[in-house]
Amino acid sequence: MATYLKLRLSNQQNYVEIKLSHPEETYNTTAAAAGGDLDIICCVDVSGSMSGSPINNVCEVLRDIYQRTQKDYRLFTYNTQTDVKRTLKTLSERNDNLQASGGTSFACIFTAIKDYLLQNASAKKPITFIFMTDGQDNEPNGPALQKSVQMLKLMLSGMTNSPPITFHVIGFGEVNDAFLNQIRTFGTRQGLFRYSTESKELQNNFNDMFEYALNVRQFTIKFPNGKTYTANNIDNETVGFLTNDGDDLKTEQIYKEIDQRMMEYRQLFTQLKMTQVPERVKLQLSALRHDPIFANTQRKKKLDLRVYKNVDYFKKTNISGILQGYKDSITSDTWQKIQEQKQNWVDTYSKEDIYEIMRKSSDNILCLGIFVQRDEEVINNPAKGLKLLKVTNTIISYDSFINGMNLAKNNQQVQGQFTTLNDLYSIAGALADEQINAVIPLYINDEHMKRIRILEGIWLGYLYTLDSYGYDKQQEVALLKLLYEIIQQRTNTQRQKQVLIELEKVCRFIIDESQGFKTAEQFGEKTYEKLLKRLPIASTQEYDLSIPLMIGYLRNDLTSIYVKLET
């Protein structure tokens, strides 16, 4: 059974959106057929900065795609000139890889794309461009680039009634995030934007883009009056089109609350603010953001308001500068001490040790992988809404966690309900039966803890809300309950004892030094002090007694929180 949304756009026309009940069962055949008629063009940057591992990894994944699909998709390569004569088949048949040299001119590739669309305007099949670059244009404000963009947009504006044209974008290295996001919107359908921090990630991103592109679908809808409409869409569940007043629709849904509209505007303003966050921090924040469906709209609204507020903080705070300052101030003696910790602390995924991680970047940290269950209540009450299911033996860097979760996220075509994302989006741990969908940083050394503290809003926000912008002070308090659950699951192995010590150090630092914990409205430092004085605690939420227990434990003062029983 399908449901409809009908919205009047003019005196004679309406916009109709149809939501299908079980598209995965009804349209699998159509989807498979659509893939055969789909035109995919890979646009690969072959400028000098792509030489070595980046271009080799790109060539490897393109050959693999050809071997799997046996489709001779086109391959456009560009630096300051564009070569449009290659295909995935010709690349696969060559023994050598593409040669990377020269500068970067987006104007030449945009012109080549425009010419291709013009030559194939009568083909009447969906077209997807997978656009990959690792840098910025030689003349980012030059007239050639501006003119090529204008001409391409002009061409696309006249193709709105054609099958969908989509631009998916892969960024690598020092790219202009705002410009690449703009390219993603060039087509008649918005595409995806993925950022690769390492050249080996390019392979995963190319594979993801191809899988997504092959899901373009074409729907034919027939009305009771005999009229038929054809709609193209990349969404499994909904199709949209224009109808005239005379069309007979048996079901109409036009329920639009003012509050919902206001939230949409606020989300738009939030997105505008996000563009003003410094590039590197924005890439980290945007990498771990889901868009789940909430059963309770008020919780969704509360999270959106929180994100709106936190974006201001990330916009105004020079996080990258602070972290780089910390890194630059580390003395040679301290680096030597960190190097002595190499054997104990190694990222399971990248195989980089704590010394390599801290030397390589200023904003990566080592963490313990865990598997948790999040309920929607976590938005209002973090301590109650998150439950630890399993502690793993996996030590993983935050960058590796981001990369793994991005792959898991891209493999899912729909986000789904908030509570179901715990199973949908997870990565494998060090052992065969381990799953990871969250991480907690490990103290390890003082310089590492400085990073953890500055990045606290990012990792806590994602841990509790599946949104890196979703931080709230109450999450610092809730972390103590999570530590309590970890202690309950611990084993007596030397390794788990070692890991637990580092987790306790992080939590001890938070309760002793964090202003967030000290000023948390509920159950923070003030509540703990009331408990010690045996004063009543006024709250609309249930107070989890494991929290004061952990505070006393971390401060080595358990006797103060015990209630003496009279005999």
In DSSP notation, 102-148 reads S---HHHHHHHHHHHHHHTTTS-S-EEEEEEESS--SSTT-HHHHHH
- The single-letter code of the amino acid at 473 is K
Please indicate, yes or no, whether residues 185 and 298 belong to a single structural domain of this protein. no
| Residue 566 in domain | no
- Mean pLDDT confidence for 357-369: 92
Whether 242 and 369 map to the same domain: the answer is no
Q: Which domain holds residue 108?
A: 2-23+36-246
Domain identity same for 345 and 467: yes
Contacts of 51 (CB under 8 A, 6+ apart): 100, 101
pLDDT at 252: 37
R_g of the chain computed on alpha carbons: 27
Is position 86 within any domain?
yes
Q: How far is CA 127 from CA 44, 121, 172, in A?
A: 16, 10, 23
In sequence order, the β-bridge partners of residue 293 are 417
Note whether 458 and 500 are same-domain residues. yes
Q: Is residue 540 part of a domain?
A: no
Q: Please indicate, yes or no, if residue 284 is contained in any of the structural domains.
A: yes
The C-alpha atoms of residue 231 and residue 412 are separated, in whole angstroms, by 23
pLDDT attached to residue 222: 66
Q: Are residues 431 and 499 in the same domain?
A: yes
pLDDT tens across 479-524, in order? Answer: 999 999 999 988 888 999 999 999 999 999 998 888 878 777 565 6
Domain end among 195, 223, 246: 246
- Say what percent of the chain tops pLDDT 70: 69
Q: Per residue in 13-28, pLDDT tens? A: 666 666 655 444 333 3
Q: Which two tokens stand for residue 434?
A: 């381990």
pLDDT of 174-232, one tens digit each? 777 788 888 988 988 888 888 777 777 777 788 878 877 776 565 666 666 666 665 55
Q: What is the pLDDT of residues 51-63, one digit of tens each?
A: 888 898 889 889 9
The answer as to whether 175 is a domain residue is yes
Q: Tell me, yes or no, whether 286 and 232 share the same domain.
A: no
Does one domain contain both 14 and 129?
A: yes
Does 395 map to a domain? yes
The two beta strands, 193-196 and 165-172, are parallel
Q: Do 457 and 526 fall into the same domain? A: yes
The answer to whether position 267 is within a domain reads no
Say what the pLDDT of residue 8 is: 61
Q: What domain count does the chain have?
A: 2
d(C-alpha 486, C-alpha 488), whole Å: 5
Whether the per-residue pLDDT at 38 is higher than 70: the answer is yes
- Please list, in sequence order, all residues whose beta carbon lies within 8 angstroms of the beta carbon of residue 331, skipping any fewer than 6 positions away: none
Please check whether residues 327 and 178 belong to one and the same domain.
no
Copy the structure tokens of residue 498. 């070692």
- CATH number of the domain residue 128 falls in: 3.40.50.410
Query: 232 with 286, same domain?
Result: no
Strands 217-222 and 3-8: unpaired
Confirm whether 549 is domain-assigned.
no
CA distances from 111 to 84, 107, 169, 304, 319 (A): 11, 6, 17, 40, 39
Read off the pLDDT band of 123 (50, 70, 90): confident
Report residue 492 CA to chain centroid gap.
Answer: 36
Work out the average pLDDT over 233-252. Answer: 54
Q: What is the pLDDT of residue 256?
A: 37
Average of per-residue pLDDT values in the chain? 77
Question: What does each C-alpha distance from 187 to 344, 370, 410, 439 come to in angstroms?
Answer: 49, 40, 20, 37
Mean pLDDT of the region 536-564:
70
Q: How confident is the model at residue 422 (pLDDT cuts 50, 70, 90)?
A: low
In DSSP notation, 358-419 reads: HHH-SS--EEEEEEEEE-GGGGT-HHHHEEEEEEEEEEEEHHHHHHHHHHHHHT-SS--BGG
Q: What angle do CA 509, 512, 515 make, to 5 degrees?
A: 100
If one compares 563 and 61, the residue with the highest pLDDT of the two is 61
Q: Which residue has the higher pLDDT, 123 or 140?
A: 140
Q: Is the pLDDT of residue 455 over 80?
A: yes
Residues 286 and 212 placed together within one structural domain of the fold: no
Q: Which residue has the tokens 């390219």?
A: 183
398 and 511 share one domain: yes
